[in-house]
Each structure stands twice: as structure tokens, then as C-alpha cells.
């Protein structure tokens, strides 16, 4: 019987263990925390946004080949993933169509984590908690895994599902990335992705707690991203799906040492023409009244201050240059930012093992036979909305099947 060791009992690792054991391998799952799957538990505000309703492959971010990424995703189509959770794990899913997300019907992330680990156990997987891997390396025809304060474990095939560097208190310590680098894999620089941004703008700091949907565009000399969705003013800056989805452009502009990425904001669904109409003279209607019809009151006061327009001005008294300045701010306004909240708050890690280093059908390393790589340690991530779980489920399953073959 083939011996398979999986390092990391998160989303990708638990799925890899399930399918390796189902294919007949004697499977051991090693997890450094006492319970595993901690990122699953905190995802979706504790509800676990398990999958998107639809999959737009173009929304994934990678410095590797998008074609290879698509092959990996398509190895387990979205519909088949849904069927696995509902039929095999007995976890019914519900759709939130406005947000394009799927959740467990119970709205409890714990049901997902427990369901996966229970299925692994039913399949015969031996799960070793509180087990920290210090190193792993080729050994004879297989692999040897060195355990801190414990005996080494030998395996015929080894699956790396150690995650990245994001939310380190869930167990992500970067061990897998470091050792894979040491083993000679091509590594794309890692960076915090889907992370809140910070700002020193005093006016916006006073708006902490205000939340509403808008569209953001982040643009640097090397890349750009646009996202429409929820936006939240925080004590330190900005968060919400729209911010997280463009944050990688901002973060990388800092790390690469160039000019800070420019972030522009379309504060409402209205464009230039619509605002032209909204700002036309209407009796004694003021600028404040026109903007309050579309935006939160406290925000309106701050925005008008940035363009030096008196909120009590009657629309009929607005000069053309003031109206144009106002529309430009509302449709393509500057969102001042100074930094990001890093890996501590990042939902995923960008960068990692180049996808060209991995066989897209089996997830086996092209450099080391018997070594399989899946999940967040790979150079790919998707937007908020279940995309990163879909990536973990698909690559984890492929790795498990590949390792057991």
C-alpha cells in the first residue's frame, strides 16, 4: 500500500488527504495546531463562503501562466465541487445570489471544517495534531519528514499544503514556502493579498464605521485592478471586498519600490452623465441635498471639503468649473492611502511556487518526483467570494489523487 503524508490540515490539505485515502493510499495528515482548518473557521465571518455561485477564471491573479491556472481549476469543475459537499459530506449549500456566494445552509464554518476532517477519518486517514514539521527532503525512493521533538516519518509520496503567510495565528508559518524554495523550485515573490489598506487622511478617519458599495480602481506602473463591492471606512483606513480585491496592486507598488499605486474611486453607481443630470438646477436645491440623495451624510461633508465646494451652495449658483470638479471627484476621485495591514489581516498570500513547476493534472513537482504541491503555497489567488476555497478544493483533490496513483 502506498504511503502518503500530507502536511497541513487546512482546506487544500484536508481535501488532499480525503482523496489520497479514497484512492487506497495509507495516508497521514500532519497539522501543527491542535484542531486544524482554522482559516476555514474564520472565513466568511464564521459562516464559511465555501464556493462562488459562478466561476470567472479571469479574476484569478498569478505571475505564472493563466493557461496552466485554468487547467488546474478545471480539474474539478464547480458543479462537481458543489455535489461533493452536498452528496458526499452531507453539507447542503445555499446561494446568496446578490453577492454571488455559496455558504453551508447552517451558516456555520465549523460544519465545513468538521465535515472535511470527519470524512478524512472515515476514509482511514490518520490525523496527527500538534505536530510541527521542521523539514522535508528526498530519501531513497521516497520522502522523509522531520518532526520537531518527534521521530521522522517516511513516505512514498508527500503533499505540501502548508498555506502561505497570511493570518499567521491560524498556523501559517511559511515552512512549506521556505523548504520548497530550498529544494530549487522557482518562486515568485510573496506578498499580502486581499488585505485592508491604511490611510493617514484625517478627514476620512472620522468616517470609521461607514459602509456602502462603490467601485475602486488601483493602478501602478506594472499592473491594475478594478473591483465593485462593499467598502468600509475603518479606524486605520479602508476595508471591504472592493478594497481587498485591489489591494495587491497597492501592496506590490510598495514592495517593488516604485511610485505608490494610484487608487481612484467611483463613489456611486452614477457616471459623468448621470451626475450632470443630478447637479442640474432644481429650484433652491443645494449641493448638499443632491449628494445626500446618493451618499451617506458624513461622507458628503468630507468630500465637498476636498473640492472646496460649499455644501449650502444652491445648484443654480454652481460655476461650470465647480460642477466639473465635483463630478470628477465623484466619478474618479482620489482615495488617499499610505500602506496596508500586511499578512496579519491578509486573507491570502500572493506569489509562491510558479505554476510551471507543477504538473497541472496531478500537482506533482516537475523537479522532485513524489512531491505534490497544492493550495495557497502556489502562485495564484482569487477575489473575495469563495474563489480561494475553490482553488484549494481543486488543487487539493488533484494532489491527493496524484500522490496515491
Tens digit of pLDDT for each residue in 278-298?
A: 999 999 999 999 999 999 999
pLDDT, tens digit, 9 for 90 and up, residues 41-68: 999 999 999 999 999 999 999 999 999 9
Same domain, 336 and 358: no
pLDDT tens by residue, 300-340: 999 999 999 999 999 999 999 999 999 999 999 999 999 99
* C-alpha span between 404 and 42 (Å, rounded): 31
Domain membership flag for residue 119: yes
pLDDT (average), residues 168-174: 82
Looking at the structure, tell me whether residues 254 and 140 fall in a common domain.
no
Same domain, 123 and 253: no
Residue 23: CATH number of its domain = 3.50.50.60
pLDDT digits (tens, 9 = 90+) for 2-27: 999 999 999 999 999 999 999 999 99
In this prediction, residue 303 carries a pLDDT of 96
* 171 pLDDT higher than 80: no
Q: Judge whether residue 173 has pLDDT over 90.
A: no
Same-domain status, 374 and 274: no
Clarify whether residues 272 and 201 are in a common domain.
yes
Pair 218, 126 in one domain: no
**Cell 502518503, located at residue:** 4
Which of 286, 318, 340 corresponds to the end of one domain? Answer: 340
In the chain, how many domains are there? 2
**Same domain for 320 and 258?**
yes
pLDDT at 371 over 90: yes
Q: Which of 340, 358, 389 is the C-terminal boundary of a domain?
A: 340
Distance CA 13, CA 172 (A): 13
What cell numbers appear for 119 in the block?
470524512
Q: Is 257's pLDDT higher than 90? A: yes
The parent domain of residue 311 ranges over: 196-340
Q: Which of 340, 361, 382 is the last residue of a domain?
A: 340
Q: What is the pLDDT of residue 168?
A: 83
Whether 239 is covered by a domain: the verdict is: yes
Provide the percentage of residues in the chain whose pLDDT is more than 70. 100
Residues with Cβ within 8 Å of residue 193, at least 6 apart in sequence: 61, 166, 247, 248, 251, 346, 347, 348, 349, 350, 381
Within a domain: residue 345? no
Instruction: Please state the pTM of the whole predicted model.
Output: 0.96
Pair (11, 84) in one structural domain: yes
- Long-range CB pairs of 20-24 (<8 Å, 24+ gap) are 20/125, 20/159, 20/399, 20/400, 20/401, 20/403, 20/404, 21/120, 21/123, 21/124, 21/125, 21/400, 21/404, 22/123, 22/400, 22/404, 23/400, 23/401, 23/404, 23/405, 24/404
Amino acid at each position: 500500500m502506498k504511503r502518503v503524508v500530507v502536511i497541513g490540515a487546512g482546506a487544500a490539505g484536508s481535501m488532499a488527504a480525503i482523496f489520497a485515502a479514497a484512492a487506497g493510499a495509507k495516508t497521514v495528515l500532519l497539522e501543527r495546531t491542535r484542531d486544524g482548518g482554522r482559516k476555514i473557521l474564520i472565513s466568511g465571518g464564521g459562516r464559511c463562503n465555501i464556493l462562488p455561485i459562478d466561476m470567472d477564471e479571469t479574476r484569478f491573479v498569478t505571475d505564472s501562466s493563466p493557461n496552466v491556472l485554468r487547467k488546474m481549476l478545471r480539474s474539478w469543475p464547480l458543479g462537481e465541487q458543489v455535489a461533493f459537499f452536498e452528496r458526499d459530506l452531507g453539507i447542503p449549500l445555499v446561494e446568496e445570489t446578490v453577492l454571488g456566494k455559496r455558504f453551508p445552509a447552517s451558516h456555520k464554518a465549523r460544519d465545513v471544517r468538521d465535515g472535511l476532517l470527519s470524512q478524512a477519518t472515515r476514509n482511514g486517514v490518520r490525523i496527527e495534531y500538534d505536530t510541527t514539521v521542521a523539514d522535508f527532503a528526498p530519501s531513497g525512493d521516497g520522502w522523509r519528514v522531520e518532526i520537531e521533538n518527534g521521530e521522522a516519518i517516511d513516505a512514498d509520496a508527500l503533499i505540501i499544503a502548508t498555506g502561505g503567510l497570511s493570518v499567521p495565528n491560524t498556523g501559517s508559518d511559511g515552512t512549506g514556502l521556505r523548504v520548497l524554495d530550498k529544494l530549487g523550485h522557482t518562486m515568485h515573490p510573496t506578498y499580502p493579498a486581499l488585505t485592508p489598506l491604511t490611510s493617514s487622511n484625517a478627514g476620512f478617519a472620522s468616517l470609521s464605521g461607514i459602509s456602502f458599495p462603490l467601485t475602486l480602481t488601483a493602478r501602478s506602473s506594472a499592473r491594475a485592478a478594478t473591483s465593485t463591492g462593499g467598502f468600509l471606512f475603518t479606524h486605520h483606513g479602508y476595508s471591504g471586498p472592493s478594497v481587498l480585491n485591489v489591494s495587491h496592486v497597492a501592496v506590490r507598488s510598495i514592495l517593488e519600490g516604485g511610485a505608490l499605486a494610484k487608487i481612484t474611486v467611483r463613489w456611486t453607481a452614477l457616471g459623468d452623465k448621470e451626475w450632470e443630470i443630478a447637479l442640474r438646477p432644481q429650484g433652491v436645491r443645494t449641493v448638499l441635498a443632491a449628494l445626500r440623495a446618493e451618499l451617506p451624510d458624513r461622507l458628503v461633508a468630507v468630500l465637498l471639503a476636498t473640492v472646496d465646494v460649499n455644501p449650502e451652495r444652491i445648484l443654480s449658483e454652481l460655476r461650470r468649473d465647480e460642477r466639473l470638479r465635483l463630478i470628477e471627484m465623484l466619478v474618479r476621485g482620489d482615495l488617499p492611502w499610505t500602506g496596508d495591514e500586511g499578512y496579519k489581516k491578509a486573507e491570502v498570500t500572493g506569489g509562491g511556487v510558479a505554476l510551471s513547476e507543477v504538473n497541472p493534472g496531478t500537482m506533482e513537482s516537475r523537479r522532485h518526483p513524489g512531491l505534490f504541491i497544492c493550495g495557497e503555497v502556489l502562485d495564484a489567488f482569487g477575489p473575495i467570494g469563495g474563489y480561494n476555497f475553490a482553488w484549494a478544493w481543486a488543487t487539493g483533490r488533484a494532489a491527493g489523487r496524484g500522490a496515491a496513483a
